Structure 1
Amino acid sequence: MTLTSSNEAVAGVLGTPATRPAGDPARRIRAVLSALVRAVIVLWGAATAAYLAQLALPGDRATAILNIRTGQAQQRTPEELAPIIAQFGLDDPVITQYLTYLGGLVRGDLGTSYQQFRPVGDIIGEQLGATLALTLSAIALSWIIMVFWVTLTAGRGPRVRSLGSGADTAAAGLPPYWLGILLLLVFALHLRWFPVMGGTGLAGLVLPALTLAIPLAGFMGQATRTEFEKTLRQPFILSARLRGAGDLSVRLRHVLRHAALPALTLTGWALGATISGAVIVEAIFSRPGIGETLVAAVGSQDLPVVTGIVVLVALVYVVANLLVDLLYSVVDPRITTS
């Protein structure tokens, strides 16, 4: 199988762009515009689903908001509800409320917290830095683990290949909550190498990041291993060996570059998924972040905060995948997106 056909096969399975001769500038512009349109549709869908979830909840929204603010669940008089209805425009038609909501999102306004009486954007912004640090650290660690393990085991003897593939499958199936508790028990409570809970420095970041990174490394390893072994059989790899390149050099400089496209595709998906997974990890390790904020908002029925975080995760996912599309041409200049 040629390099082009193998890349096209991966494209069919993972949705990655196929390798083809670079098109003219107009074609590239159309590809970028098409990606932007898809991104807008995804964001609109996420925002609409989040808004409809608010409407689907039973009971009167004005009463729920007032009960959240006062901390007392009880029936309210029309006089008590009038200021809430006026503040949030709850007496407007549903379509008007929906368009107002979308207009606020376009302006960067995620609404006002029912419980904290503050803009949702400010609440999320205060916690976003800790979550991004955890997410980016986890993705970096997953790449390090994946590259080391696949380079070490792919294309070796049958036993080593089976060991590598089996480890990928096992890692990908590890539940984050179980893995996090296991790492906490072993490395924090037993060995005392890391803080047990709430560490904000580098030491406090290692175990939470590993909790997210190990399953992700397994997923990326599964996607990369097959392409890695196919690339090892390509004629240009034989040419590199005949020129005197060592095995490690061939694997890292030549094979990995061509085999990394599936992992690159998963990285765009993983950025959004890892932020979602941070909800569990931040709860296990008592770390600050939007995960802790989301859990508190769900518990108090603070819907603007919940929907704001949902929209944020969708935005991160969309932006990450747009960046991945741009990185394809850096990894392999022959690639165009369609």
Structure 2
Amino acid sequence: MTSHRGTLRAHPSILPRIGVRLFGAVVVLWAVATVTFFALRLIPGDPAQAILGGPGSEASQEALDRVREQYGLDQPLLVQYLQQLGRLATGDLGVSYAQRTPVAELLGEQLGNTLVLAACSLLLAWLLALVLVVWSSRGGRIAASVGNGIGLLAAALPHFWLATVLISLFSTWLGWLPPVSTGDASGLVLPVLTLAIPVAGFLAQVMSESLLDALSSPFALSARARGESRRGVVFRHALRHAAVPAINLSGWAFGYLISGAVVVETIFARPGLGRTLLAAVTVRDVPVVTGVVLFSALIYIVVTLIADAAAALVDPRDRVREDAR
């Protein structure tokens, strides 16, 4: 009976949070669709020419007028915007101008490649960050300073420069790994390293600061007073608290990895959403650009929700607050 009543009491606090999250997700997607629509309209050039193959197609004025009427490009800008919102609200992403393929089908073919790249990069970034944080926490002030410097340097590395260095080292000089995507695991290593290293540096910086605060907190001092070693305090108590801010930022990190895929997939000739987006912008393929941006925003929202849930599970303070209610 008590458990049932407790569940009933929990519902009023859970449902508003779910509602707020869903409303926030809708607002974000609407804002992304709006900004993308008007930003693409500011790009010089005629969308009708892009549909017919670009300026080099030498399309006749009659053909251009027919395409503008077919795609609603002869309507006022506000009408075009409202029509696009209506289509997006029904899940209709349109048809690619360049490839004459439904955008949803085109993105479905490329989505898996980018998600694999981003997920592997995030896992490797977490592993590198944890190793760096644990090593620096056990080595005293000098190791802490060196670890902080390594994290700061890694976080500042641009993708195109890091990719060039990794290709020169592991492909050109050592010959261990292919410089471009080969469709197997070996072709995934360098793109993953390129994306993971900067994120690892950022996560390590966040966790290092939180770990220092956790080690000086009362629960850590109490554990040391009971005779527990510094290593035990770090692994059993402090590291879990230090990981919470980094987990909260994992949603942002995943979005950063998705955006970084534009550069990395192009450099390593790897198929995916990033390379598709760059090609679509080049030929002014408006439906594909809109679809990729919306897909990326939706992925960011979902991963952020997962990260929030994971942080709540890891942080014992959340459970204490729920019990207090």
Post-superposition offset of 1:141: 0.2
The separation in 1 between residues aligned to 2:150 and 2:204, in whole angstroms, is 9
Q: Which has the higher contact order (CA 8 A, sep 6+)?
A: 1
Post-superposition offset of 1:326: 2.0
SS at match of 1:72: helix
Q: CA RMSD in A?
A: 2.2
Post-superposition offset of 1:166: 0.6
| Cross-structure match for 1:8 | none
Asked whether the 8 Å contact 1:153–1:160 carries over to 2, the reply is yes
Would you say how many aligned residue pairs link Structure 1 and Structure 2?
312
Q: Does residue 1:230 correspond to 2:213, yes or no?
A: yes
Q: Does residue 1:218 correspond to 2:201, yes or no?
A: yes
Q: Does residue 1:28 correspond to 2:28, yes or no?
A: no
Runs of 4+ in 1 over 6 A off after TM superposition: none
The separation in 2 between residues aligned to 1:48 and 1:278, in whole angstroms, is 23
AA aligned to 1:264 is I
Q: Does residue 1:72 correspond to 2:56, yes or no?
A: yes
Q: How does 1:69-218 map to 2 (within 5 A)?
A: 72-74=56-58, 76-77=60-61, 79-154=62-137, 156-218=139-201
SS at match of 2:21: helix
Q: Deviations over 1:269-288 (max 9, x none)?
A: 01111011011111121111
Q: Does residue 1:48 correspond to 2:31, yes or no?
A: no
Asked whether the 8 Å contact 1:155–1:229 carries over to 2, the reply is no
Post-superposition offset of 1:93: 3.9
AA aligned to 1:227 is S
Post-superposition offset of 1:55: 2.5
Post-superposition offset of 1:264: 1.0
Asked whether the 8 Å contact 1:63–1:75 carries over to 2, the reply is yes
Asked whether the 8 Å contact 1:43–1:314 carries over to 2, the reply is yes
2:270 alignment partner, one of 272, 283, 287: 287
Asked whether the 8 Å contact 2:50–2:98 carries over to 1, the reply is no
AA aligned to 1:177 is F
C-alpha change, 1:166 and 1:87, in structure 2 (3 Å) is same
Asked whether the 8 Å contact 1:272–1:313 carries over to 2, the reply is yes
The separation in 1 between residues aligned to 2:247 and 2:253, in whole angstroms, is 10
| Cross-structure match for 2:6 | none
C-alpha change, 1:206 and 1:243, in structure 2 (3 Å) is farther
SS at match of 2:317: coil
SS at match of 1:273: helix
The separation in 2 between residues aligned to 1:243 and 1:107, in whole angstroms, is 61
C-alpha change, 1:128 and 1:247, in structure 2 (3 Å) is same
Q: Does residue 1:315 correspond to 2:290, yes or no?
A: no
Post-superposition offset of 1:267: 0.8
Asked whether the 8 Å contact 1:43–1:318 carries over to 2, the reply is no
| Cross-structure match for 1:15 | none
Asked whether the 8 Å contact 1:155–1:232 carries over to 2, the reply is no
Unaligned runs of 5+ in 2: 1-8
Aligned-residue sequence identity (percent) comes to: 44
AA aligned to 2:47 is R
C-alpha change, 1:224 and 1:116, in structure 2 (3 Å) is same
TM-score (normalised: structure 2): 0.88
SS at match of 1:124: helix
Unaligned runs of 5+ in 1: 1-22
TM-score (normalised: structure 1): 0.85
Post-superposition offset of 1:75: 5.9
C-alpha change, 1:64 and 1:195, in structure 2 (3 Å) is closer
1:253 alignment partner, one of 221, 225, 236: 236
AA aligned to 2:60 is R
